[in-house]
Amino acid sequence: VIRAKHVADALMRKPHDILIFDLAVPRNVESFDGGPLSPANVRILTIEDLRAIAEENLAKRLGEVPKVERIIEEELDRLERRLSSLRGLEVVRAIMRRVEEVRREEVEEALRALAKGRDEASVLNAMSRSLIKRIMYNVIETCRRAAAEGREEVLMAVAEAFGVGRAAGRPARPKAYKT
């Protein structure tokens, strides 16, 4: 058992604040009432005090749970949007690779026709018509299937992508090609 005298002796040798944890049941530290061993320089914490502190801290942490859940939800939403954006980017890259492949093939065909002495204007017209048909073929077939299946959302998405129809509001006017 730690008595007031033991603590007083310790304070006489080296004056400082003392914190004593009395975790025993029954208690092993004598309580100090007033005198030189006042609560200002000696504090005794019992198991009950520690339990109360723990409960108070737990209550504070539990009070933060809704805030943490909200932060997690916001971050999950952000992550989902980012992943969707990346999926969209993958689709765009795949489309651009395909369009570039078609363009290269059409340019090679046009160069062969020019090498054979064909008229430049007719070669360019043929190339541009072929290019448009090849690029648009799958889009047009998708629209035909969607219309036959009653999938209006597909038609609206394509119309919006090309800046035409109700979905787009008004037709888009792309800038002219410049060399």
pLDDT digits (tens, 9 = 90+) for 62-116: 999 999 999 999 999 999 989 888 888 898 999 999 999 999 999 999 999 999 9
The residue behind tokens 């072929």 is 130
| 114-120: average pLDDT | 96
**What is the pLDDT, as a whole number, of residue 86?**
87
The tokens for 128 are: 């541009």
125-145 pLDDT, tens digit each: 999 999 999 999 999 999 999
**What is the pLDDT, as a whole number, of residue 168?**
47
Of 27-31, 95-99, 150-154, 155-159, least confident by mean pLDDT is 27-31
| 3-19: average pLDDT | 77
**What is the pLDDT, as a whole number, of residue 35?**
54
The kind and range of the H/E element at 42 are: strand 42-46
**What is the pLDDT, as a whole number, of residue 176?**
56
Q: pLDDT-based confidence at 172, cuts 50/70/90? A: very low
- Looking at the predicted structure, is the pLDDT value of residue 34 above 70? no
Kindly tell me the sign of the dihedral angle through the C-alpha atoms of 26, 36, 19, 49. positive
Q: Which residues contact 4 (CB under 8 A, 6 or more apart)?
A: 30, 32, 35, 37
Q: pLDDT-based confidence at 38, cuts 50/70/90? A: low
